[in-house]
Homo-oligomer: A and B are copies of this chain.
Amino acid sequence: MSKDRAGSAEFLGLRDIAAHAGVSHMTVSRVIRRPETVAEPTRQRVLAAIEALGYVPNLAARDLVRGSSSFVCMVVSSLQNVFFAATVEGLVRGLDPLGLQVMLGDAGFSAEREARLVRGFVARRPAGVVLMGTDHAPETVRLLSRSRAPVVETWDLTRAPIGACVGFDNVAVGRLAARHFRAIGARRAVVLGRSTPRNRKRIAGFLAEAKEVGLAHARHVELADGHALRVGREALAGLLDQAADDRPDALFFVSDTLAIGALLEATRRGVAVPQEVAILGFGDHPLGPELTPSLSTITAPLEEMGHEAARLIAGALAGEDIRGRVFDLGLSLIARESTARAG
């Protein structure tokens, strides 16, 4: 239980450096924050002292005075998901040149957990908060509305963002998929995914568009939670085991990972893709173009989304009012072999 251990030096403060350099602590503070306001010889002496003593400022004190910190908090739905990781990376890279760091929380697709994380974040007076999705617990919204931190929601669009919103239209994702299936002449189109808030939009969009363009037999297959590759694989297996006359000929998975699982299973079973069944995913997984057949997919600029969130937060920090701004980053359909003329 020994707390004082040899070798673990205590932290020095501004005043220690000041004493060593023969100036006041304010001069040291200035050298750190606005060196151009300090005379050259003085500055040199202070810098030498900082170097000699290995001084590292305590940002908690600065944060306390300023009432806000220099990091941005982000809640992700899952850290293991490569698609989310791309957005996180975009944010981290966009914030780095501004000297802002990122504090990450993993909500595991639970709005309650998200609220807990946000509460912890708000207690740190973050310079900004980035969320995934636009469906949040009332407490999350309340906490963030009261906080002064700029908030950016991502991965979806909403008419009433908490702060700003940079995302894409998940209903349009589903519609785009259905239109694509229509274009390749699919008869029995299916959308497969677990009913999370975002997925629900993709599913609804798919079913609505399918109806409108005359894909009469379109339906939704609910998927279980779990490891996406296996879930996708099992989903395909389940569909193939159905009576032949009810067998779908076009599958839209709400995520590429699911689609890849299905594609691999189809290959294994000798089911021809896209001839017997077309497969479409979402997210443009790096593996998609490498597979045989290559995977068609719908995607949004995932990394760019994080980058744009960083830009918005930077703007807010510079005094802009970003509230109410909603950016639709758009979608693209990448048609590869897995949906090449199914019918």
Give the contacting residue for A104; candidates B63, B67, B103, B267; CB below 8 A: B103
Kindly supply a per-residue 1/0 record for chain A positions 261-282, scoring 1 wherever the CB is within 8 Å of any chain B CB and 0 otherwise. 1001001100000000000000
Partner of A291, one of B10, B54, B264: B264
User: Given A5-B321, A123-B59, A264–B292 Cβ distance below 8 Å?
Assistant: yes
CB contact between A261 and one of B61, B122, B290 (< 8 Å): that residue: B290
Closest partner residue, chain B, to A124 (CB atom): B59
Give the residue name and chain of the B residue nearest to A65 (CB).
B60
Main SS at interface, chain A: mixed
Q: Do residues B102 and A143 form an inter-chain contact, with CB atoms below 8 A?
A: no
Contact with B along A61-103 (1 / 0, CB 8 A): 1011001010100000001101001101100110000010111
Question: Do A92 and B69 have beta carbons less than 8 Å apart?
Answer: no
The answer to whether B58 and A233 touch across the interface, beta carbons within 8 angstroms, is no
- Interface size on A, as a range, is 35 or more
Contact A119 B56, CB 8 Å, known A79-B88, A227-B286, A319-B1 = yes
Interface assignment of A3: CB less than 8 Å from any CB of chain B: yes
Given contacts A85-B85, A145-B7, A290-B264, contact A125 B79 (CB under 8 A): no
B287 x A267 contact (CB < 8 A): no
Q: Does A235 contact B (CB under 8 A)?
A: no
Within 8 A of B (CB), among A175-226: none
Q: Is A109 an interface residue (CB 8 A)?
A: no
Contact at A103–B102, with CB atoms within 8 Å? Answer: yes
A148 closest partner in B (C-beta): B8
Chain B residues with Cβ below 8 Å from A167 are: none
Q: Are the C-beta atoms of A54 and B11 separated by less than 8 Å?
A: no
Residue ID in chain B nearest A292 by CB atoms: B268
Say yes or no: is A9 at the interface (Cβ < 8 Å to chain B). yes
A125 pairs with B7, CB closer than 8 A: no
Q: Are A125 and B287 closer than 8 Å at their CB atoms?
A: no
Residues of B close to A117: CB separation below 8 A: 101
A61 — which chain B residues lie within 8 A by C-beta?
Answer: 64
Q: Is A106 positioned at the interface, with any CB of B under 8 Å from its CB?
A: yes
Residue A248, interface by CB 8 Å: no
A133 at the interface (CB under 8 A from B): no
A142 interfacial by beta-carbon distance below 8 Å: yes
Query: Within 8 Å CB of A67, what residues of B?
Result: 11
Give complex CA distance A82, B89 in Å.
13
Which partner residue on chain B sits nearest A263 by CB separation?
B290
- A57 at interface (Cβ–Cβ under 8 A)? yes
Q: Which of B101, B119, B230 contacts A105 (CB 8 A)?
A: B101
| CB<8 Å pairs between A and B, sample of 10 | A54-B142, A56-B123, A56-B143, A60-B125, A79-B85, A80-B85, A80-B86, A89-B106, A229-B287, A268-B292
> 12 other contacts beyond A71-B103, A79-B89, with CB at 8 A cut-off?
A5-B321, A5-B323, A8-B146, A11-B125, A11-B148, A54-B142, A56-B119, A60-B60, A101-B105, A229-B290, A230-B290, A287-B287
